[in-house]
Amino acid sequence: MTDLRARQSELQDLFDTYVDAGLRLDLTRGKPAAEQLDLSNDLDGILEGFYLLQGGTDVRNYGGILGIPEARQLGAEFIGATSEQVMVGGNSSLNLMYQYVEHMMPHWRGEPVKFLCPVPGYDRHFTICEHFDIEMITVPLNDDGPDMQQVQELVSQDATIKGIWCVPKYSNPTGNTYSKEIVEQFAEIPKVAGDNFRVFWDNAYAVHDLVEQGDELPSLITAAEKAGTTDSVVMLGSTSKVTFAGAGISFLATSTSQLAAFEKFLSNQMIGFDKVNQLRHVRFLKDSDGIKAHMAKHRDIIKPKFELVLNMLEKHLAGKNMASWNSPRGGYFISLDTRPGLATTIISMAADAGVKLTPAGATFPYGKDPENKNIRLAPTFPELAELESAMDVFVTCVELASLNAELD
């Protein structure tokens, strides 16, 4: 006990030093660093004044809600569908998710609407549900994907459950990739669900490997074709963490009949997305090989940042029974669990010392982590020196908060 008290006092002194230092560091969101954005600077001017497609279409003009054919093909390779099943949107797949839920709301009218949310998960999925007053039901996210026994029981017993959010590859924030068996089970789920059930397959990190041989994720829409459930599949992706985060293109894939229905819905609010930007991306990325080569450059930049965070967690917290964390093979986050009840305290302490973290509870619906223990770390944006400083503060906060709870 005396040794623990001495360590507590030592950590408190160190923490006070950080507070006095006036740091201003940010690990809140998974943003590409400026060095990553620079990889795509050749997008500027790449068209060299040539705006015509092979068929003679001028991309500067009106029309084409589903996107130019060349970009639809690029999207098909990106998310694992056929070009006929794919549409190309603006810079945010989140926007397409929102619009698709809005499109479905009249079909769900007349009864309460509920969604299943694997947790921990992506906070902006939860925000969409809250906006549309959709009740969220959590299901556990295991190493190979959501607890499918629980998913099947819930959807088969409650026809008001109309959807489920999934980040199937390098999940935000845990970094898990769904197994082949889980993907196949998802293709079967609509058969036991209520009418107009949708699987929202947000494959945001489809090409974001941190290792040379990344995880393999089977195509859900291919599995759904075998199961006869393609109408229930909504696959999404974007280049927002591939090229320019604020000026990329996004993709949505579903059955051709559902795509036509969504196109009709969109035609009430627009004539078409930015086709000039779509053509820029086709010329720049070219195809799946071009995407792979480009993402290898991203990996070279961000992998050392992930290694730094993981090394510091291992050095300062391993074996102390104060935290556990994942070692992702891809994606943009590291998920850390503290002792139950301490996440809010640790995040508040870090803020006092000048390090902003994602709010406690953000990875759960309604911002409420029932055990108050999950913290999402986003290593990509800061430079290495800043990241190291932020992690010095963070590991100090974790250990000090843990000792305070144990001793006080």
C-alpha angle 128-233-298 in degrees, rounded to nearest 5 = 70
The DSSP line for 41-103 is GGGTTTTTT--B-TT--BTTSS--TT--HHHHHHHHHHHTS-GGGEEEESS-HHHHHHHHHHH
Average pLDDT over the chain reads 97
pTM for the full model?
Answer: 0.96
Query: In degrees to the nearest 10, what's the CA dihedral of 107, 113, 116, 119?
Result: 130
* Digit-coded pLDDT (tens) for 320-351: 999 999 999 999 999 999 999 999 999 999 99
Among 92, 74, 73, 98, CA closest to 83:
73
As a whole number, mean pLDDT of residues 206-232 equals 97
β-pairing, 250-253 with 233-238? antiparallel
pLDDT at residue 405 above 80?
Answer: yes
pLDDT at residue 103 above 80?
Answer: yes
β-pairing, 198-202 with 161-166? parallel
pLDDT band with cut points at 50, 70 and 90 for residue 128: very high
The DSSP line for 278-314 is HHHHHHHH-SHHHHHHHHHHHHHHHHHHHHHHHHHHH
Among 61, 60, 68, 63, CA closest to 87:
68
The whole-angstrom separation of Cα 86 and Cα 88 is 7
What's residue 192's pLDDT?
Answer: 96
What's residue 117's pLDDT?
Answer: 98
- Cβ-based neighbours of 186, under 8 Å, separated by 6 or more: 148, 166, 178, 199, 201, 220, 223
What residue ranges define each of the domains in the chain, with the CATH number in brackets? 2-30+292-407 (3.90.1150.10), 49-286 (3.40.640.10)
What's residue 29's pLDDT?
Answer: 87
- Cβ-based neighbours of 153, under 8 Å, separated by 6 or more: none
What's residue 109's pLDDT?
Answer: 86
As a whole number, mean pLDDT of residues 227-242 equals 97
pLDDT band with cut points at 50, 70 and 90 for residue 163: very high
What's residue 2's pLDDT?
Answer: 77
CA 292 to chain centre: 19
pLDDT at residue 235 above 90?
Answer: yes
* Digit-coded pLDDT (tens) for 350-385: 999 999 999 999 999 999 999 999 999 999 999 999
The whole-angstrom separation of Cα 157 and Cα 382 is 46
What's residue 190's pLDDT?
Answer: 97
What's residue 111's pLDDT?
Answer: 82
* Digit-coded pLDDT (tens) for 46-75: 999 999 998 899 999 999 999 999 999 999
pLDDT band with cut points at 50, 70 and 90 for residue 194: confident
- DSSP classification of residue 370: T
